[in-house]
Amino acid sequence: MLLLINAYAQEIKETANQENVSSDYLKYRDMTVEQIADRLNKLPEAMRFSVLVPDEEVYQYGIIDPNKDQTKIVEYGGLLDVNIDGYFDSFHDGNVNKEHFYGDINDPSKIVYAESELNDSDYVDPTKDTSAFNARHGANIQRFDKEASINNGLVINKEPSLGLYDFSPMKENKPFVIRCNEYEPRKIVLTIYIEGWDLESVNYTMGASFIASLGFRVDRPSK
């Protein structure tokens, strides 16, 4: 798999060095093949498994994030730079411009805005690549105040995912157990997808691929 990623990174680099290349490739011109491959390899960090047992009596649904650690929290909402112009999206609200908050929240009326600034801000994280998540706050635009909004009652729904540590054999209470009866079929729907709100789900990973594997363990009750 690593060889395939390196080959694709080499192809991207060669394309970026051509004349009259699409603007989508210009960002790769100053990057080495190794740097491009490193960005492509971040795609699996946004990968998820979902497991659904669509049975009315024993309905179950769970999301598994193989790369989740104790500190990783993914929120289903936030500011975005959808058109990738370097600034978080905004909208007109009467005579003022306000930053647009996307996502799954309890009540839009709970959103609080701070006063606009005369100058653009720096990128959220100047040390990282620009992306839909890493943009600037524009001048003369009222900025979303997350802390004040939460204090005002805003709730941003979070991804209820499980990490691999939740399935440790040493853990007594298993978070996800699919109960099966002998000689009775059990339908299980397994989905592998990329979580769009994961901060690694960005354009730099476009064209990358991954290999995933999932195993099941059968725990037979003692007689």
The pLDDT tens digits of the residues spanning 54-75 come to 988 889 999 999 989 888 899 9
Measured between alpha carbons, how far is 179 from 186 in angstroms, rounded to an integer? Answer: 9
Kind plus residue range of the DSSP H or E element containing 99: strand 96-99
Pick the more confident residue, 24 or 87: 87
Query: Are 93 and 131 found together in one domain?
Result: yes
Task: Tell me which residue range forms the domain holding 167.
Answer: 47-74+159-198
pLDDT of residue 22: 81
> Average pLDDT for residues 92-118, to the nearest whole number?
96
pLDDT of residue 167: 82
**Is pLDDT of 34 > 50?**
yes
Measured between alpha carbons, how far is 24 from 27 in angstroms, rounded to an integer? Answer: 7
What is this structure's pTM?
A: 0.81
Query: Are 82 and 176 found together in one domain?
Result: no
Calculate the alpha carbon distances from 196 to 50, 60, 106 in Å: 14, 23, 20
pLDDT winner (highest mean) among 9-23, 66-80, 139-153: 139-153
Query: Are 164 and 62 found together in one domain?
Result: yes
144 assigned to some structural domain: yes
**Is pLDDT of 1 > 60?**
no
